[in-house]
Amino acid sequence: MDMNEIREIFFQECEEQLAELETGLLALNDGDTDPETVNAVFRAVHSIKGGAGAFALDDLVAFAHVFETTLDKVRSGQLEPTHDVLKVMLKSADVLADLTNAARHGDQIDQDRSASLVADLEALARGEGVSSGEKPAEAEPEFTPVPVMLDEPQSADFAPVPFSFDDFDDEDTAAASGFVVTFRPRAELYGKGNDAYLLLRDVAKLGAAKIACDSSDLPDLAQMDPEGAYLSWTIEVTGLADEAPIQRVFEFAEWDCDLTIVPSGDVSAVQPAEEIVLMAPIETPAPVKAPTPVITPAKPAASVEDSGMVPVPFDLSAFDNLTVADTIAPQPVAAPVAATTAASAPVAPVISIAEAAAKRGVDPDAADRRQGGDRRAAETVAPTIRVDLDRVDRLINLVGELVINQAMLAQSVNESAAGTSAINMGLEELQQLTREIQDSVMAIRAQPVKPVFQRMSRIVREIADMTGKSVRLVTEGENTEVDKTVIDKLAEPLTHMIRNAVDHGLETPEKRLAAGKPEEGTLRLAAKHRSGRIVIEIADDGAGINRERVRKKAIENGLISADANLSDEEIDNLIFHAGFSTADKISDISGRGVGMDVVKRSIQQLGGRISIVSKPGEGSVFTMSLPLTLAVLDGMVVSVANQTLVVPLTAIVETLQPEASKIHRFGAEQRLISIRDTFCPLVDVGRVLSFRREQADPVHGVAVLVETEGGGQRALMVDAIQGQRQVVIKSLEANYDHVPGIAAATILGDGRVALILDVDAVVAGSRGDQARPELSLAAVG
């Protein structure tokens, strides 16, 4: 553990706190009145401030402090969390997130935005909702972050020093020689875990000290309260120019004792000097008795504890080596934190195996519905551990190897014909176990989509601000889990789609009012599991797709012919074509020149698909479905031109043996196959992938009917089907490059590499559509 690692932990924790903050603020916005929600929000900002202080992240500390101050007003009921107040707070949460990121990566942030929010927050803190007579915010003490100076431990200066050292420069008076301290603990001192012996020990460290104990107040044994405080001490410290170190020793105790500190040369030392009593005691101080004569007896130190009544000499030399600086190992704290930003070693990301075990088998949406108090109860249920992501990844890779090895073993047994029924049964059990291990291991890396969804609420706020639209984001199924490999790649397409929905989908408030809709548009973001995939829907209640305009545009761009007869669904799906944009002017909101075609492409890269259903006047629903993991895939193993390929099972509708009578030539090259009275284009996979030049005779092969992204079907011609199996996905890009028409690679039971077909790219390739394979290359980069 070193400071870089802790710094990384801090930023990880910030992410969690920021998510917590946003969730809490949104809950308050929805009318949550649970005080614990406000507390959680406050704690999130407070924690970020505390950690940021430790790393001297001054901008972050300063902003968090203002934010915290305003939140404190809400917490104490002085400020009503109205929608307007929460609007400022949500924006502040965004700025806090920006500042955190800036601190993490050393970036610059928009100073004007943060300054204007500071002004807003301060106005809120002192403004309406604050009870009368409240001090204005600026009157509060300035919060000054103290950077951690790890290379230079400071042992002194613990207590605030009430006077300047300059006062002692002219070394007048007896001040230089020492002080007489009288110290009379009250019972409370012991009750709070303080110990007179320790205080005397520390005073003795300051210089030559003579300590005398006054036990005259000790009652008879019969009347003695075992927890009472009956002793007092007089300590004469010499060789000390300044009483501050003495005050520092009694810093924790000063409330619970009577304490006087007088320069020892002062004749008035015999009298308690009122003006230098450090803090007015709570009770009337007991009159201090005349000091016991200072004596120097010769008893061992331990006797203080034994009798507590005898003046005790302190062996000062024993403390000489016990300085603070010595007790701190300098090694792990060598570098000043602020300077380590650039050099900070990358620290492995960590995932939290959170709640997963407890949640398994529970309706994920039910978890969404829990509120406030329930949430706290739930938090206490599932114990979690944090594990390095690297370790989980390694485990997943190893299990992948295990799956391959198990398949290889099964194949060799089959080929050798050595399989007795016992061996075969054993193999079957092995296969089952392997599969279960794999499922369990994959479940470890499964994560709820919640963090990604939470990021979307910010995107919505920003675009709503930019477009002057009023938008409410509703999320459902946030706890739906999906493999981390998928989660990581979800944010980008989702961001584009959300932007698109607000920018193009929702109308302006005026238009909505004119159409008889509520001024505020609603965007629904929902996730759920469906047949082994995760389905994410983005629905808006906007105007729906303007099919006339889409059609016109598509004709202008040459995507369709002017007399093309397209269904509504086909027209809607035109927006996914490359270069298509319905916005009349180029807007930098929907995505910096990125169209829906790129969104579709990146979803396809993940083995997903996307479609749209739109109703004029009512809105549009984008639906994307993605595999639950990018680590394994169910596939059909086929042979094409002596090559073994894997076709993802999700793309396959059916397989059929073509009869000669069902094959029809269409033009020079194209052939169609008739399936139940419809004609479906044949795609010769071997030719598309350049494995052979001549068209294979479809009658000798098998047609694999697949569904393409546009919704149409194609028949992929392959030579033979070998079987179905789950395969472990291996990247081709890791050591080579993207290959057009190929999604990834895998290793089959014979130990050889087989390629996994990218069905849509192959279909696109068969149309001579050059743009798409190239696009996919660019996307892979």
Partner 1 sequence: MKKTVLTVDDSRTIRNMLLMTLSGAGYETIQAEDGVEGLEVLARSNPDVIVTDINMPRLDGFGFIEGVRRDERTRAIPILVLTTESDQEKKNRARQAGATGWIVKPFDPAKLIDAIERVTA
Partner 2 sequence: MNELARTQADGVRELIAFRIGDQEFCVDIMSVREIRGWTPATALPHSPGFVLGVINLRGAVLPIIDLSSRLGMKAADPTARHVIIVAQVHKKVVGLLVDAVSDILSVTSQNIQPTPEVSSELDKSFARGVLAIEGRMICLIELEALFKSSESEAA
- Exposure string for 291-309, b = 16+ CB within 10 A, e = fewer: bbeeeeeeeeeeebeeeee
Residue with Cβ nearer partner 1 (78 or 508): 78
C-alpha separations of 556 from 285, 569, 596, 768 in Å: 95, 19, 18, 21
Alpha-carbon distance 669 to 690, whole Å? 15
Alpha-carbon distance 37 to 27, whole Å? 8
The item of partner 1, partner 2, none sharing an interface with residue 29, based on CB under 5 to 8 Å by kind, is none
Q: Is 51 in the site for partner 1 (CB under 8 A)?
A: yes
Q: Is 421 in the site for partner 1 (CB under 8 A)?
A: no
Q: Is 731 in the site for partner 1 (CB under 8 A)?
A: no
Q: Is 255 in the site for partner 1 (CB under 8 A)?
A: yes
Q: What is the DSSP secondary structure assignment for residue 503, as one 8-state letter?
A: I
In the list 67, 91, 97, 145, the residue contacting partner 1 (rule: CB under 8 A) is 145
Q: How far is the CB of 758 from partner 2 (least distance, A)?
A: 11
Residue with Cβ nearer partner 1 (331 or 661): 331
Q: Is 280 in the site for partner 1 (CB under 8 A)?
A: no
The item of partner 1, partner 2, none sharing an interface with residue 752, based on CB under 5 to 8 Å by kind, is partner 2
Is the CA virtual torsion 300, 305, 309, 312 positive or negative?
Answer: positive
Q: How far is the CB of 329 from partner 2 (least distance, A)?
A: 37
Contacts of 222 (CB under 8 A, 6+ apart): none
Q: Is 332 in the site for partner 1 (CB under 8 A)?
A: yes
Alpha-carbon distance 489 to 484, whole Å? 9
In the list 39, 341, 405, 522, the residue contacting partner 1 (rule: CB under 8 A) is 39
- Give contact residues for partner 2 (rule: CB under 8 A): 397, 400-401, 404, 643-644, 689-691, 730-732, 734-742, 745, 747, 751-755, 777
Q: Is 47 in the site for partner 1 (CB under 8 A)?
A: yes
The item of partner 1, partner 2, none sharing an interface with residue 194, based on CB under 5 to 8 Å by kind, is partner 1
The item of partner 2, partner 1, none sharing an interface with residue 745, based on CB under 5 to 8 Å by kind, is partner 2
Is the CA virtual torsion 146, 149, 150, 156 positive or negative?
Answer: negative
The item of partner 1, partner 2, none sharing an interface with residue 332, based on CB under 5 to 8 Å by kind, is partner 1
Q: Is 252 in the site for partner 1 (CB under 8 A)?
A: yes
Q: Which helix (DSSP H) or strand (DSSP E) does residue 569 occupy?
A: helix 568-572
SS3 content of the chain, % helix, strand, coil (to 5): 45, 20, 35
Q: How far is the CB of 78 from partner 1 (least distance, A)?
A: 16
**Comparing C-alpha atoms, which of 619, 579, 605, 612 is closest to residue 778?**
605
Q: Is 249 in the site for partner 1 (CB under 8 A)?
A: yes
Residue with Cβ nearer partner 1 (169 or 379): 379
Q: Is 129 in the site for partner 1 (CB under 8 A)?
A: no
The answer to whether the CB of 212 falls within 8 A of the CB of 311 is yes
The item of partner 2, partner 1, none sharing an interface with residue 569, based on CB under 5 to 8 Å by kind, is none
Strands 232-238 and 257-263 turn out to be unpaired
Which one of 98-106, 190-198, 392-400, 684-692 is the stretch in contact with partner 1 (CB under 8 A)?
190-198
The whole-angstrom distance between residue 230's C-alpha and the CA centroid of its chain comes to 56
Residue 134 backbone phi and psi in degrees, to 5: -70, 140
The answer to whether the CB of 504 falls within 8 A of the CB of 543 is no
The item of partner 2, partner 1, none sharing an interface with residue 251, based on CB under 5 to 8 Å by kind, is partner 1
Alpha-carbon distance 111 to 170, whole Å? 49
Q: Is 42 in the site for partner 1 (CB under 8 A)?
A: yes
Phi-psi label, residue 735: left if phi above 0, alpha if psi -120 to 50, beta otherwise: alpha
The item of partner 1, partner 2, none sharing an interface with residue 747, based on CB under 5 to 8 Å by kind, is partner 2
Q: How far is the CB of 6 from partner 1 (least distance, A)?
A: 5
Q: How far is the CB of 437 from partner 1 (least distance, A)?
A: 31
Alpha-carbon distance 361 to 487, whole Å? 21
Find where tokens 């579709």 sit: 600
Q: How far is the CB of 773 from partner 2 (least distance, A)?
A: 8
Residue with Cβ nearer partner 1 (196 or 626): 196
In the list 34, 58, 122, 202, the residue contacting partner 1 (rule: CB under 8 A) is 202
Q: How far is the CB of 704 from partner 2 (least distance, A)?
A: 17
Q: Is 3 in the site for partner 1 (CB under 8 A)?
A: yes
In the list 268, 317, 331, 642, the residue contacting partner 1 (rule: CB under 8 A) is 331
The answer to whether the CB of 414 falls within 8 A of the CB of 646 is no
Contacts of 638 (CB under 8 A, 6+ apart): 644, 645, 646, 647, 702, 704, 718, 719, 720, 721, 722
Alpha-carbon distance 11 to 206, whole Å? 41
Residue with Cβ nearer partner 2 (186 or 738): 738
Which one of 9-17, 365-373, 390-398, 571-579 is the stretch in contact with partner 1 (CB under 8 A)?
9-17
Binding site for partner 1 (CB under 8 A): 1-3, 5-6, 9-10, 12-13, 36, 39-40, 42-43, 46-47, 49-51, 53-54, 56, 141, 143, 145-150, 153-155, 158, 190-195, 197-198, 202, 249, 251-252, 255, 322, 324-325, 327-329, 331-333, 376, 379-380
